[in-house]
Structure 1
Amino acid sequence: MTTRLTTSAMIASFADPGQKTTSAPFGHALVRLADERPEIVGLSADLAKYTDMHIFRDAHPDRFFQLGMAEQLLLGAAAGMAEVGLVPFASTYSVFATRRAYDFLCLDIAEPNLNVNVVGALPGLTTGYGPSHQATEDLAILRGMPNLTVVDPCDSVEIEQCVPALAAHPGPTYLRLLRGNVPTVLDQYDYRFVLGKAAELRTGRDVVLISTGLMTMRALAAADRLAADHVDVAVLHVPTIKPLDTDAVLRAADTDRLVVTMENHTIRGGLGESVAATLAFAGKGRGILPIALPDEFLAAGALPTLHDRYGLSTDAVVDRVRGALGT
């Protein structure tokens, strides 16, 4: 496989060359929501610029709160605001929200079931900075937390749609944020985000790709590539990791097709294991092909190179499916 060194590790961009993108969709969506709802507030742990929260800060400076590099304080303050009727969106990097502030998220927010929306940037392998900033295990950490809803959006379209849906949800949420210039893909599919629901974006008789997050755009691209080989590929997008749309998963996976799960997360504790458990609990045990990050600390480097190395690129997905089909 050809190694690509076209971007620096400093640039957290996973968009393919020439791909349509939208700038800071989360920040702009939050501003639009706040224009309509005065109880919306934004918080950050000294990372407003790097979580697109600066868009909200500039539009509503009186409703923005900078807590400094203290994620425990960030989530504790957000909990207090929710207790008095505000609807906080608290942004930081995913690694800090999950590893550093887990107990505050669990006991201050989830246990009292408060409407706090935790926004985690750099989920999975969306930065080249290495293990200190790569939140490759955040889904595994959070799936076991009661009351918490977990959302992994595909692109800018879904981010813009899910922001008001998360604010309207009465309990706590965790959003895996794609920031900066975010690819725009789902506008081609007449897509509407519905919290807790999966969406079949294309049908196919040979293979079904069950994907979440940015891997859905790779699933769609891989399906187009495989069609040239006369392989008919369905794509089921699963934006809500918890609660999982088990009915949609069972309809998609309980067939004679090759079932492939795709996620920007370690193979442990994410979508792949959730799909496997759903099948097993329903008495539909069968083999699935998981495409995910390995159970190891990942290297630092340029994102295109890392996505090739760890199997998240479209080329890598196409190769894995072809290999499984023996084509």
Structure 2
Amino acid sequence: MTQELIPPHSRRGSKYAARTVPVSETGERLTTSAMIASLDAEGRATVAAPFGHALVDLAKFRDDIVGLTADLSKYTDLHVFAKAYPEKFYQMGMAEQVMISAAAGLAREGFTPFATTYAVFASRRAYDFICMAIAEENLPVKIVCALPGLTTGYGPSHQATEDLAIMRGMPNLTVIDPCDAIDIDQATRAIADHPGPVYMRLLRGAVPKVLDAYDYRFEIGKARLLRDGGDVLFVSSGFMTMRALDAAENLAQEGISCAVLHSPTIKPLDATTITAEAAKGGRLVVTAENHSITGGLGEAVAGALMRAGVHTPFRQIALPDEFLDAGALPTLHDQYGLSVAAVTASVKSWLAA
């Protein structure tokens, strides 16, 4: 096999350094699509568009539910709602600030708006509009955003690796990072009843179903212990809870016992449950998140432990504080330490140190 040099972006060394792509003997590039919005669900059942279908179910009984999107209904699963309730759907075009302002206006008139876009556009482009038009007034707007963290290979323009850090600093805003289709379905219904504004990350398309095996029930502001163990305590959110559960199975085969505490609410954090579990002692506490190591779940948990006076060995599994490469998701998850194999290896190395 030969290697072909191509010049686009690389985050190794110089920003514009050449990188290599494997090619076959016939010269064909051995690459996969960079844009993979649905996670690999090999061996797992999946649910199609759980957010869109949950919103449709809510609208059957609630006239106040409306949906808005910034030209991304298909890619945030809001097209399911738009098809069922076209009279309650608003296509705002590529104008996130306008969408947020319109959602605020609808909320003032008694509606419960669900506004969807990509996480990068809500957290970076529309931040001031969310802050001034929605959060300061504590309006019940639900901002639901696809492509959180490293769930696309399109590079920094689409990878919202810092959205949790941005949003958890905003007063009045509840921040949710659900794990799977079960979590998304239940969280959508819960945030519809929540009286204030919410920012929720979204896995879309064919979303794996995991938490139904753990007698799980989503509740805003609550972490749930999915499995117990005596050597390691994972505190995780988003799809990294799936990875923590899989890594725990791998580690169990080597005699390492792992607990997994799923914390889908980043703000308000369930500091009571987290500190109580960490305080049991004798376990390495490992936070696992699909977000930058800066300002997300890991630092929120570390702060909670310090304030509670809980001192325990602590490590973070998270994305680096840098702009990430573009590429295929399985490769990037290995590269940046989010794959099951990488999580397993990291925990073993920390225990051996």
Does 2:158 align with 1:137? no
Give the counterpart of 1:224 among 244, 249, 269.
249
Contact 1:14/1:304 (<8 A) preserved: no
Instruction: Verify: 1:324 aligned to 2:350, yes or no.
Output: yes
Aligned to 2:230: 205
User: Is the aligned partner of 1:90 residue 2:115?
Assistant: yes
Please name the residue that 1:274 is paired with: 300
For the residue of structure 2 that corresponds to 1:289, the secondary structure is strand
Q: Kindly report structure 1 stretches of 4+ aligned residues shifted beyond 3 Å.
A: 3-7
2:54 matched to 1:39?
no
Is this contact kept in 1: 2:36–2:151, CA < 8 A? no
> Which position in structure 2 is the counterpart of 1:293?
319
- Between the aligned partners of 1:160 and 1:35, the Cα distance in structure 2 is 15
Deviation of 1:20 after TM superposition, in Å, equals 1.8
Conserved? CA contact 1:6–1:304, under 8 Å: no
Q: Is the 2:174–2:198 contact (alpha carbons within 8 Å) kept by the matching residues of 1? A: yes
CA shift in 2, pair 1:23/1:210, >3 Å: same
TM-score (norm 2): 0.90
Give the AA of the match of 2:138.
N
What residue identity is the alignment partner of 1:12?
A: A
1:178 to 2:208 alignment: no
Cα deviation, 1:278-324, whole Å, max 9, x if unaligned, reads 11111224441100000000000100000000000000000000101
**Counterpart amino acid of residue 335 in structure 2:** R
Q: 1:304 aligns with which of 317, 330, 337?
A: 330
Q: State the alpha-carbon separation in 1 of the partners of residues 155 and 168 from structure 2.
A: 23
Deviation at 1:10, TM superposition (A): 2.5
Residue number among 131, 135, 156 corresponding to 1:110 in the alignment? 135
Q: CA deviation at 1:251?
A: 1.1
Unaligned runs of 5+ in 1: none
Helix, strand or coil at the partner of 2:120? helix
1:315 match: 341
| Preserved CA contact (<8 Å) 1:156 1:184 | yes
1:66 and 2:80 correspond: no
Q: Do the aligned residues in 2 keep the contact of 1:215 with 1:312 (CA within 8 Å)?
A: yes
Name which of 55, 58, 81 aligns with 1:30. Answer: 55
Contact 2:236–2:260 (CA under 8 A) maintained in structure 1: yes
Q: Distance in 1 between matches of 2:102 and 2:151?
A: 28
**Percent identity of equivalent pairs:** 63
Between Structure 1 and Structure 2, how many residues are aligned?
325
Structure 2 residue identity aligned to 1:275: V
Corresponding letter in the other structure for 2:145: G
Residue of structure 1 in register with 2:191 after alignment: 166
Equivalent position SS for 2:291: strand
> 2: distance between equivalents of 1:41 and 1:60?
9
In the TM superposition, residue 156 of structure 1 has moved relative to its aligned partner by 0.1
Query: Which residue identity does 1:309 align to in structure 2?
Result: Q
TM-score with structure 1 setting the length: 0.97
* Contact in 2 for aligned 1:12/1:303 (Cα 8 Å): no
What is the CA–CA distance in structure 2 between the aligned matches of 1:156 and 1:226, rounded to whole Å?
A: 25
Which is greater in Rg? 2
Higher relative contact order (CA 8 A, sep 6+): 1
**Deviation of 1:30 (Å):** 0.4
User: 1:157, 1:185 within 8 Å by CA — same for their partners in 2?
Assistant: yes
Distance 1:197 1:96 in 2: 28
Q: Which residue of 2 aligns with 1:193?
A: 218
Of stretches 278-287 and 30-39 in structure 1, the one that deviates more from structure 2 is: 278-287
